Amino acid sequence: MTPDHDQAEENSPQIGPLALEQPLWPRTMPEPHEVDRLFAQVFALVGEGIAGATHALLAGDRDAAKELVKRDEVIDKLIGQISTTVQHQLVNGETSPNERREFVAILRMLPDMERNGDLAEHIARRAARGLGAEMSARSRGLVERMGEVATTIWRETADAFAERSADAASSIDDLDDELDDLHVTLTAELVASTMPLPVAIELAMVARFYERFGDHAVNLARRMSALVVGGPEPVSSGAD
């Protein structure tokens, strides 16, 4: 995953152990039916990442932020395992047309999964630098809400994948619209505020990361909808 070049207390959400004591990716080629299990692990890690990064940023929890940055490597390896397994099955496995269609769709979903892992890590990096302590009160409230919406949109996207649901795309679109509006509002706050320019620039990047996180979730939901009901490959929402 590309590095970011842009440059807690008791009630804090815990960065769960999620079997960090043991490898999350097997050394041998997993069976095709294990792809969903690996996907579920990625969804869980990215969800923990965006929620944890938001909390670390606002609470000034630099240790938690640094731990989340390390977690990004695990996401990379899991996504690589999914990609290798699916490609191996497409080339060497005995698959039906429907199975091949699903495998191709999964390969097309992986970049959005990977990118959202990146975005959560980018926010965590800024939390590790202590950005939260320099934010205005209003900007903190807006970031808190963006984190809540991003966490919700990711949970609904994960549910849509697990259930192979074609109905989630509409509600995820609505949540993404809220993230877009919050991005605009936070940008306006940065222009009007008296925060130091370097802080405002970093916070503008954070706002952009949340906005793009929503776009990638929309892409995933639309691809799942197209897979379930049929139809043309959806156009990606925006570009990084």
What is the reported pLDDT for 240? 56
Q: What is the rounded average pLDDT of the residues 198-221?
A: 96
> pLDDT confidence of 34, banded at 50, 70, 90?
confident
Question: For residue 9, which of 50, 46, 71, 60 has the smallest C-alpha distance?
Answer: 60
* pLDDT surpasses 60 at 184: yes
> pLDDT confidence of 11, banded at 50, 70, 90?
very low
Q: Are 1 and 72 in contact (CB under 8 A)?
A: yes
pLDDT digits (tens, 9 = 90+) for 159-179: 998 888 888 888 899 999 999
CA angle 184, 142, 174 (to 5 degrees): 60
What is the reported pLDDT for 163? 87
| Choice between 189 and 166, residue whose per-residue pLDDT is larger | 189
* pLDDT surpasses 50 at 196: yes
How far, in Å, are 40, 111, 171, 234 from residue 228 at the CA level? 18, 20, 17, 13
| Other CB atoms within 10 A of residue 28 CB | 5
Q: Give the whole-number percent of the chain exceeding pLDDT 70.
A: 82
The whole-angstrom distance between residue 238's C-alpha and the CA centroid of its chain comes to: 15
Distance, CA of 61 to CA of 12 (rounded, Å): 9
Which tokens go with 154? 């990711």
pLDDT digits (tens, 9 = 90+) for 51-89: 999 999 999 999 999 999 999 999 999 999 999 999 998
* pLDDT surpasses 80 at 16: no
pLDDT digits (tens, 9 = 90+) for 87-125: 998 998 888 888 888 899 999 999 999 999 999 999 999
Q: What is the rounded average pLDDT of the residues 173-193?
A: 95
* pLDDT surpasses 50 at 221: yes
Please list, in sequence order, all residues whose beta carbon lies within 8 angstroms of the beta carbon of residue 89, skipping any fewer than 6 positions away: 32, 95, 103
Provide the whole-model pTM. 0.83
What is the reported pLDDT for 169? 84
> pLDDT confidence of 22, banded at 50, 70, 90?
very low
What is the reported pLDDT for 236? 60
Q: Are 152 and 217 in contact (CB under 8 A)?
A: no
